Amino acid sequence: MLRELLLSYARGQQAATIAVVGNAPMAPDAERAALIDGSDLVFRMTTFALDEPDAEPAYGTRTDVVVVHRGVIVSPYTFADYTSRLYLLAEPGRLFWEPETLPDWWPADLGFVPISNRRFVQPLSRLLGLSTDQHVWATTGTLVTYLCKELFPDAVVRLTGVSIIERPDQTDFEHAWGSKVGVTAEHRLDAESRLLSAWRDSGRIEIVQ
């Protein structure tokens, strides 16, 4: 069902090419921005940035699916034009303690689709070598990449705007919009770096700088 729902937001109701755009700052690159916007399905997450009309292209402007969590720091782009997008809610903390209530700033007329912990979060944790009984899980970008390859195994999935692969020892995430945020205790970036690198090297995904 989730696959069909995602396809309804894709260009031409197909997903041969998928862009997963992380939040890391990226230098201007018109070719990268065009590659993102030319994808059949474009995922962005949490506190993301988009290209402004008077800026050099870097991040692209198209957004089909937004993946958020309950503690998201909202950027001006997170809920812009939200009626034209699909919103997925990542909530791995619900396995342990996370409340069901949404923040006060959530648009009153906006629904969302939860990402299944059993279908996606826990299998990914096992791939990362993490215990599903402990408060540890993947970052949103790695989760979205895994979800895309599980639902669209034949698609070309291009991951960009991520810093984990080259900098698994970082303690802060720099964001393209807003201040940097600390890497929270539930993440194991070294494990994610190894997994994403293995997917890249095997051709499972493409990394776009």
Give the CATH number of the domain where residue 49 resides: 3.90.1480.20
Dihedral class, residue 161 (left if φ above 0, else alpha if ψ from -120 to 50, else beta): left
Query: Mean pLDDT score of the chain, rounded to an integer?
Result: 94
Which residue in this structure is represented by tokens 């990268």?
32
Domain assignment of residue 41, given as a range: 2-208
d(CA 141, CA 15): 18
Question: How many domains does the chain contain in total?
Answer: 1
The whole-model pTM stands at: 0.95
- In this predicted model, what pLDDT tens digit does every residue of 50-107 receive, in sequence order? 999 999 999 999 999 999 988 888 899 999 999 999 999 999 988 888 777 777 888 8
Section 151-159 average pLDDT: 98
Q: Please tell me the predicted confidence (pLDDT) of residue 103.
A: 79
Strand, helix or coil for residue 58: coil
